[in-house]
Amino acid sequence: MTIRGKAFIAGAFEHPGRELPDLSVSQIHAEVAAGALADAGLGFGDVDAYFCAGDAPGFGPLSMAEYLGLRCSYVDSTETGGSSYVVHAGHAAAIAEGKCQVALVTLAGKPRTGGAYPGAAGRMANAPESNFERWQGMPGAVGGYALAAQRHMYEFGTTSEQLAEIKVAASLHAQHNPDAFLRKAVTVEEVLDSPMVSSPLRRMDCCVVTDGGGAVVLVSPEVARDLPRRTAKVLGHGEAPKHTDNGRIDLTYSGAVWSGPRALDEAGVAVGDVDYASIYDSFTITVVETIEDLGFCAKGEGGRFVSDGALVAPYGKLPFNTDGGGLCNNHPANRGGMTKIIEAVRQLRGEAHPPVQVPDCEIALVHGTGGSLGTRMGSATLILGREDA
């Protein structure tokens, strides 16, 4: 069974807050849920399916469905890190199976003012790899991505200047977004002058840490028909967790090599048809490997591909992350998958900030990354089309 054309994103909402010390994580979930439902022209009483991931407090959907006052015939709490929400949008294929009509997906967190969400440390404590991967002093998430970047540079000649081009493109977009955490346009030189965090990645190769959240509402074609709002059509979805493969880990590619083709096949579109791409940008290297693995360029060519403004909207070869992305706009709960979906919906509705709106945007690709690049990572790709696509 294919989900092509059987579910529509009718509502999308990004929390405007970047520092929310006075809200609980549950409250942020509720605010984004209300925002996305209002955007769709629906209410909490219409929701019959709920999706959340590891950022949700308590017992996931059991705690949150109660808190939000939802009555559901379907829940899913697939947890694949920051890619979770892209997975959820694909799993709303349950709509196609007739299991539900209105699916709500929420993300919320406050790593900036509230510390890491509870539970993450506990989850890792009993991981089977824990004895072998916790005493090396890995400097947080950046360490794993730095190891991938170093190897990618070694094998393909990717340079720090090329990585910097990604931050530059994101910053050019962010200057048009009044909510973006970092709104100043930066140059390649400024990125290269920023302090080294975990070689070869510098501070400006890293995404921001922000509070906030977002939500989307997926509906059946029948529900979509009666809504006043423009929608985005779900065309295809693919997911592919990647792991260290019995110690034969290869850090130069991501799970996108599998999730991308699955999503594109289901959608019946080719990479050349993609007008806009939301590419998970936890770190600059994440973008390089992902665009290679999705097939926007050959393996190893990602560094060269992103040069010369290729990613800059609206007229680059591949306009990406027009909200400023995780590198400049926000990365709520340290998980960027949700905001990737939201900006793609804005592009397809023609509601992105005018200077970065891609003209006649018909097909958008969303890619989510979770965990650590090339190591133990979630990977999910979603293809969305304009309502009439």
Q: Answer yes or no whether residue 137 interacts with another protein by CB under 8 A.
A: yes
**Cis bond leading into 261, ω under 30°?**
no
Unique residue bearing structure tokens 């609206």: 314
Among residues 119, 143, 221, 261, which is the contact residue for another protein, using CB under 8 A?
143
Q: Give the separation between CA 319 and CA 336, rounded to whole angstroms.
A: 18
- Coil/strand/helix, residue 33: helix
Q: Give the separation between CA 278 and CA 369, rounded to whole angstroms.
A: 11
Rounded to a whole number of angstroms, the minimum distance from the CB of residue 252 to another protein is: 9
With a CB cutoff of 8 Å and minimum separation 6, the contacts of 214 are: 12, 13, 14, 15, 32, 36, 106, 107, 332, 338, 339, 341, 342
Is the distance from CB of 354 to CB of 291 less than 8 angstroms? no
Question: What tokens were used for 372?
Answer: 């650590």
Q: Answer yes or no whether residue 378 interacts with another protein by CB under 8 A.
A: no
With a CB cutoff of 8 Å and minimum separation 6, the contacts of 136 are: none
Rounded to a whole number of angstroms, the minimum distance from the CB of residue 285 to another protein is: 11
Q: Answer yes or no whether residue 146 interacts with another protein by CB under 8 A.
A: yes
Q: Answer yes or no whether residue 136 interacts with another protein by CB under 8 A.
A: yes
Residues 57-96 that bind another protein (CB under 8 A): none
Q: Give the separation between CA 299 and CA 19, rounded to whole angstroms.
A: 38
Q: Answer yes or no whether residue 135 interacts with another protein by CB under 8 A.
A: yes
Rounded to a whole number of angstroms, the minimum distance from the CB of residue 131 to another protein is: 4
Query: Bridge partners of 206?
Result: 283
Q: Answer yes or no whether residue 132 interacts with another protein by CB under 8 A.
A: yes
Choose between 212 and 241: whose C-beta lies nearer to another protein.
241
| H or E stretch at 287 | helix 284-294
Rounded to a whole number of angstroms, the minimum distance from the CB of residue 114 to another protein is: 18
| 3-state secondary structure string across 30-61 | HHHHHHHHHHHCCCHHHCCEEECCCCCCCCCH
Is the distance from CB of 177 to CB of 313 less than 8 angstroms? no
Choose between 27 and 150: whose C-beta lies nearer to another protein.
150
* AA identity, residue 120: A
Choose between 251 and 306: whose C-beta lies nearer to another protein.
251
Q: Answer yes or no whether residue 121 interacts with another protein by CB under 8 A.
A: no
Among residues 7, 37, 75, 147, which is the contact residue for another protein, using CB under 8 A?
147
Among residues 66, 71, 123, 154, which is the contact residue for another protein, using CB under 8 A?
154
Q: Which stretch binds another protein (CB under 8 A): 97-105, 148-156, 268-276, 307-315?
A: 148-156
Rounded to a whole number of angstroms, the minimum distance from the CB of residue 149 to another protein is: 8
Residues 239-258 that bind another protein (CB under 8 A): 244, 246-249, 251
Total number of residues shown for the chain: 389
Choose between 62 and 127: whose C-beta lies nearer to another protein.
127
End-to-end C-alpha distance for the chain, whole angstroms: 19
Q: Which stretch binds another protein (CB under 8 A): 140-148, 174-182, 256-264, 276-284?
A: 140-148
Q: Answer yes or no whether residue 115 interacts with another protein by CB under 8 A.
A: no
Choose between 98 and 126: whose C-beta lies nearer to another protein.
126
Q: Which residues of 107-131 are buried (b: 16+ CB within 10 A; e: fewer)?
A: bbbbbbebeebeeeeeeeeeeeeee
Q: Answer yes or no whether residue 123 interacts with another protein by CB under 8 A.
A: no
Among residues 37, 40, 148, 174, which is the contact residue for another protein, using CB under 8 A?
148
Choose between 59 and 154: whose C-beta lies nearer to another protein.
154
Choose between 103 and 373: whose C-beta lies nearer to another protein.
373
Output the CA–CA distances (angstroms, integers) from residue 316 to 169, 192, 299, 363, 376, in the order listed.
10, 23, 20, 16, 32
Residues 179-218 that bind another protein (CB under 8 A): 195-201
Task: By CB under 8 A, name the binding residues for another protein.
Answer: 128-140, 142-143, 146-148, 150-151, 154, 195-201, 244, 246-249, 251
